[in-house]
């Protein structure tokens, strides 16, 4: 069954058809949620909630990219959860130094209990990127995720974000700029990767 047929069947309340769509998109949906929330449990909750909501509201899907429609639902679920967290702030993840400033280094994040494999897996560079991503404003993060993580073009991203194209462009540019400024704080981790990029550019 192709996607429109599955969607059509799901509109009639066919759960199996909808689950076919779930199987197709659950990785992307979870990835989006994971990058939005920054932790597994919250991402899983948001993803599950998004699929349930999508099934109940599938009649409101009006064509276009079904992926964008799904990602919009999960992103909104993440916004809700993030807003709820803001209302009830928890202890910040970053430890404070003596002057009360957050320690802006990824080194503290390395768990000494991690196995060598995990340490390799969770490389410092990756942690640095994730750290900077989590510190973007939610709207900026959503925009940069749609384009750079999900690989959408601007039109599809605009649909997924429910924003005009100009807004998406602007948010994306500002998000990348902030990411650049944040990553410069971890400059010592970057040269190898950046060199690689530079070489690519030379070619």
Residue 29 sits in the site that holds other proteins (CB under 8 A) = yes
- How far apart CA 16 and CA 13 sit, in angstroms, is 9
- How far apart CA 72 and CA 153 sit, in angstroms, is 15
- How far apart CA 137 and CA 94 sit, in angstroms, is 17
For residue 108, the minimal CB distance to other proteins (Å) is 20
Of 96 and 193, which has the nearer Cβ to other proteins?
193
Of 48 and 76, which has the nearer Cβ to other proteins?
48
Residue 65 sits in the site that holds other proteins (CB under 8 A) = no
Of 97 and 121, which has the nearer Cβ to other proteins?
121
Residue 167 sits in the site that holds other proteins (CB under 8 A) = no
Residue in 6, 42, 144, 146 binding other proteins, rule: CB under 8 A: 144
Of 103 and 173, which has the nearer Cβ to other proteins?
173
Task: Kindly report the number of other CB atoms within 10 A of residue 176's CB atom.
Answer: 16
Name residues whose C-beta falls within 8 Å of residue 157's C-beta, 6 or more positions apart in sequence.
Answer: 68, 143, 146, 147, 150, 168, 172
Q: How many residues bind other proteins (CB under 8 A)?
A: 48
Name residues whose C-beta falls within 8 Å of residue 49's C-beta, 6 or more positions apart in sequence.
Answer: 77
For residue 70, the minimal CB distance to other proteins (Å) is 11
């Amino acid at each position: 069954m192709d996607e429109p047929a599955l969607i059509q069947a799901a509109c009639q309340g066919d759960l199996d058809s909808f689950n076919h769509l779930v199987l197709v998109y659950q990785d992307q949906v979870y990835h989006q949620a994971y990058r939005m929330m920054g932790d597994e449990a919250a991402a899983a909750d948001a993803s599950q909630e998004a699929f349930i909501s999508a099934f109940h509201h599938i009649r409101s899907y009006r064509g276009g990219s079904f992926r964008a429609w799904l990602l919009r639902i999960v992103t909104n679920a993440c916004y809700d959860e993030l807003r709820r967290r803001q209302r009830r702030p928890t202890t910040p993840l970053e430890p404070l130094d003596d002057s009360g400033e957050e320690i802006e280094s990824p080194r503290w994040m390395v768990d000494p209990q991690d196995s060598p494999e995990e340490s390799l897996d969770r490389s410092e560079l990756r942690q640095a990127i994730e750290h900077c991503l989590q510190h973007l404003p939610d709207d900026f993060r959503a925009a940069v995720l749609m384009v750079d993580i999900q690989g959408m073009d601007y039109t599809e991203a605009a649909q997924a974000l429910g924003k005009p194209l100009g807004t998406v462009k602007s948010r994306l540019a500002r998000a990348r700029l902030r990411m650049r400024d944040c990553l410069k704080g971890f400059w010592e981790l970057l040269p190898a990767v950046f060199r690689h990029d530079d070489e690519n550019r030379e070619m």
